[in-house]
């Protein structure tokens, strides 16, 4: 009894049909994201309304029947920052938006009499209020307090010159970097109100220039894309789960002991099922503050397992025969990968974990937090770059060894030579697919991070990176198709072979090399024989 994998028993025609079907499904994933015509995220940038402060009112709001009389910022008659309130009232929000991220951009005018320090620190008190639909319809209902906090942000501005005026050395104003404001990981209510007061007592908020207002930048996932995404995950989940069940069922039927590669295949399928589980539907019914952290952790877990599998898949055929084929034989690669994953996990927990209690918190708000975050991200980036280089080197070594060993097939009879050549070609194709998925996955991850943090609000300046739903759903489909394919193609099947001579290779020196034996996958033996 010989154990083969399904990949070995497929003819070129059947394998081609299988790949064409997967390619069609991949195209469908791209089309689903592209034809919906919905952007993954929506960005709005209204300006804060400046209102006079009323000590006898807990909240200053605009509508319905607001008590804010919009005023121009003026400090005559001994008025200070405590006499004004910056107000922003968000339009109706649905839970389809999933999360809400916001920034504020200071609007500072040039005035030679007012100093703007390069190390200016803006300190403000901010309160977030809410109303439900029922409360909003009732004009007598009061806004309820969700959270209040005192925050400090470092202002970084560059002078903006208009060269059409006579004195070119006088700036027309300042262009300031966006400041992290708040992030809601779950949207429990339909209406939100923000009251912001600058604190200038006890030496706070000094030398911040002639601050006139703030641009409020709010970012949320679009309702249309959210619906498409939920439906896509709902369809994908049972398909990948069925492939995992098929793999386990074949392992049980063949009574084959799980090798290290089989264990990683199972773990890969399991992590894909966890990632695809459409638990997002529950957020429409039961808001859960920690759901975003859960989503980030399961995504990171899947990517880490996937990258580990790729290392193991390539390294399994590079490792020296005298070494033990254990999980720790790839220690230097795995430690590097899990080190990068741990750094990103710590960064995520530090940022989003504290936001569960205070959505206005930002790890970037302090110099220490900013430096620590940059160090974390740089180390993770370097580790990822080294990982890509190591993976490419492993794959190149595999291809080089396969090419050098293919000459030994000339000693075989034609039928057997064609069989082994087909196995080599299938193995090479799978390796090429693996390296392509690896590069696209890492590129996708870092582009998504840039897209989330590098926003451009100047309408006259085109965005550096334009994302579309087609690319996001396409990459998502590619990863799931890859997992589905390897679970199916690497599932063991039993082959009854009576003539073991038909599975031997004799080279020019007359030495016989067995490409398979009992209790061993012939695919693994062909691969190792070709590159040993």
Q: What pLDDT score was predicted for residue 237?
A: 95
Q: Between these two residues, 137 and 71, which has the higher pLDDT value?
A: 137
Q: How far is CA 133 from CA 173, 191, 201, in A?
A: 41, 8, 38
Q: Between these two residues, 240 and 71, which has the higher pLDDT value?
A: 240
If phi > 0 it is left, if psi is from -120 to 50 it is alpha, else beta; for residue 391 that is alpha
Residue 250 has pLDDT above 70, yes or no: yes
Q: What pLDDT score was predicted for residue 503?
A: 44
Residue 320 has pLDDT above 50, yes or no: no
Distance, in Å, from the CA atom of 448 to the CA atom of 441, rounded to the nearest integer, reads 11
The arithmetic mean of pLDDT across residues 252-277, rounded, is 88
Distance, in Å, from the CA atom of 22 to the CA atom of 243, rounded to the nearest integer, reads 14
- Is the separation of the CB atoms in 465 and 39 below 8 Å? no
Q: Between these two residues, 523 and 376, which has the higher pLDDT value?
A: 376
- Is the separation of the CB atoms in 441 and 433 below 8 Å? no
For 358-385, the pLDDT digits (tens) are: 888 888 777 777 788 788 778 877 877 8
Residue 321 has pLDDT above 80, yes or no: no
For 153-185, the pLDDT digits (tens) are: 888 888 887 665 556 677 778 888 888 898 888
The arithmetic mean of pLDDT across residues 203-207, rounded, is 82
Distance, in Å, from the CA atom of 111 to the CA atom of 209, rounded to the nearest integer, reads 8
User: pLDDT-based confidence at 421, cuts 50/70/90?
Assistant: low
Distance, in Å, from the CA atom of 149 to the CA atom of 31, rounded to the nearest integer, reads 44
Instruction: To the nearest 10°, report the CA torsion of 307, 309, 310, 313.
Output: 160
Residue 412 has pLDDT above 60, yes or no: yes
H or E segment to which residue 513 belongs? strand 512-514
Residue 454 has pLDDT above 70, yes or no: no
CA 109 to chain centre: 38
Using the structure block, give the residue that is written with the tokens 């001994």.
78
Q: What pLDDT score was predicted for residue 480?
A: 93
Tell me whether strands 100-109 and 121-131 are parallel, antiparallel or unpaired. unpaired
**Least trusted range by pLDDT, from 34-38, 292-296, 302-306:** 34-38
Q: What is the mean pLDDT of the chain?
A: 77
DSSP per-residue string spanning 349-392: IIIIIHHTT-TT--TTSSHHHHHHHHHHHHHHHHHHHHHHHHHH
Residues 165-187, buried b or exposed e (16+ Cβ, 10 A)?
eeeeeebebbbbebbbbbbbbbb
Q: How far is CA 137 from CA 63, 140, 298, in A?
A: 11, 9, 40
Residue 124: phi and psi, rounded to 5, are -150, 155
Q: What pLDDT score was predicted for residue 315?
A: 67
User: pLDDT-based confidence at 271, cuts 50/70/90?
Assistant: very high
Distance, in Å, from the CA atom of 208 to the CA atom of 161, rounded to the nearest integer, reads 19
Fold of 2-40+224-495: Rhopdopsin 7-helix transmembrane proteins (1.20.1070)
User: pLDDT-based confidence at 517, cuts 50/70/90?
Assistant: very low
- Is the separation of the CB atoms in 129 and 59 below 8 Å? yes
For 74-127, the pLDDT digits (tens) are: 655 567 888 889 999 888 888 898 888 899 999 888 888 888 888 888 899 999
The strand pairing partners of 19, in sequence order, are none
Sequence-distant (≥ 6) Cβ neighbours of residue 283 within 8 angstroms: 95, 98, 186, 291
The arithmetic mean of pLDDT across residues 194-198, rounded, is 92
Q: Is the peptide bond before 366 cis (omega within 30 degrees of 0)?
A: no
Sequence-distant (≥ 6) Cβ neighbours of residue 309 within 8 angstroms: 264, 265, 267, 268
Q: What pLDDT score was predicted for residue 31?
A: 83
DSSP label of 163? T
For 476-502, the pLDDT digits (tens) are: 898 899 999 989 988 887 655 444 444
Q: Between these two residues, 12 and 269, which has the higher pLDDT value?
A: 269
Using the structure block, give the residue that is written with the tokens 């939100």.
192
The rounded percent of the chain whose pLDDT value lies above 70 is 73
H or E segment to which residue 512 belongs? strand 512-514
Q: Between these two residues, 45 and 78, which has the higher pLDDT value?
A: 45
Residue 444: phi and psi, rounded to 5, are -60, -40
User: pLDDT-based confidence at 418, cuts 50/70/90?
Assistant: low
* Segments making up each domain of the chain, as ranges: 2-40+224-495, 44-221
């Amino acid at each position: 009894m010989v154990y083969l994998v399904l990949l070995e028993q497929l003819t070129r025609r059947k394998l081609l049909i299988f790949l064409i079907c997967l390619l069609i499904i991949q195209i469908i994933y791209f089309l689903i994201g592209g034809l919906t015509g919905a952007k993954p995220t929506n960005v709005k940038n209204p300006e804060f309304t400046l209102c006079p402060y009323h000590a006898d009112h807990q909240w200053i709001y605009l509508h319905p029947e607001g008590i804010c009389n919009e005023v121009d910022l003026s400090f005559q008659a001994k008025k200070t920052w405590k006499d004004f309130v910056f107000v922003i009232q968000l339009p109706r929000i649905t839970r389809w938006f999933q999360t809400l991220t916001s920034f504020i951009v200071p609007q500072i005018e040039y005035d030679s009499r007012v100093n703007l320090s390069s190390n200016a620190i803006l300190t403000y008190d901010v309160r977030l209020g809410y109303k439900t639909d029922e409360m909003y319809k009732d004009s007598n209902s009061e806004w309820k307090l969700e959270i209040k906090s005192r925050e400090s942000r470092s202002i970084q501005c560059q002078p903006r010159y208009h060269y059409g005026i006579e004195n070119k050395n006088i700036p027309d104003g300042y262009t300031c970097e966006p400041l992290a404001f708040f992030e809601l990981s779950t949207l429990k209510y339909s209406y939100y109100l923000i009251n912001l007061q600058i604190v200038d007592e006890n030496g706070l908020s000094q030398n911040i220039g002639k601050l006139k207002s703030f641009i409020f930048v709010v970012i949320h996932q679009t309702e249309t894309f959210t619906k498409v995404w939920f439906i896509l995950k709902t369809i994908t989940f049972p398909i990948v789960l069925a492939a995992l069940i098929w793999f386990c069922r074949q392992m049980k039927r063949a009574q084959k002991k799980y090798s290290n590669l089989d264990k990683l295949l199972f773990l890969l399928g399991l992590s894909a099922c966890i990632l695809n589980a459409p638990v997002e539907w529950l957020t429409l019914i039961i808001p859960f503050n920690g759901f975003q952290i859960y989503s980030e952790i399961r995504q990171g877990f899947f990517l880490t397992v996937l990258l580990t599998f790729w290392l193991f898949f390539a390294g399994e055929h590079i490792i020296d025969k005298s070494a033990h084929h254990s999980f720790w034989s790839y220690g230097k690669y795995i430690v590097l990968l899990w080190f990068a994953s741990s750094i990103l996990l710590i960064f995520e927990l530090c940022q989003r974990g504290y936001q569960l209690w205070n959505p206005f918190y930002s790890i970037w708000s302090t110099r220490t937090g900013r430096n620590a975050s940059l160090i974390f991200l740089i180390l993770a980036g370097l580790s990822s770059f080294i990982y890509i280089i190591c993976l490419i080197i492993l794959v190149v070594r595999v291809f080089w060894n396969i090419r050098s060993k293919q000459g030994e097939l000339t000693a075989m009879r034609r039928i057997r030579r064609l069989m082994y050549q087909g196995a080599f070609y299938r193995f090479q194709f799978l390796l090429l697919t693996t390296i392509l998925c690896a590069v696209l996955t890492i590129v996708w991850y870092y582009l998504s991070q840039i897209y989330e943090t590098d926003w451009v609000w100047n309408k006259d300046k085109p965005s550096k990176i334009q994302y579309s739903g087609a690319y996001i759903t396409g990459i998502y489909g590619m990863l799931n198709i890859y997992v589905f394919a390897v679970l199916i193609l690497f599932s063991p099947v039993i082959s009854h072979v009576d003539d073991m001579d038909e599975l031997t290779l004799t080279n020019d020196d007359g030495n016989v090399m067995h490409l398979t034996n009992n209790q061993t996958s012939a695919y693994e033996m062909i691969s190792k024989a070709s590159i040993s």
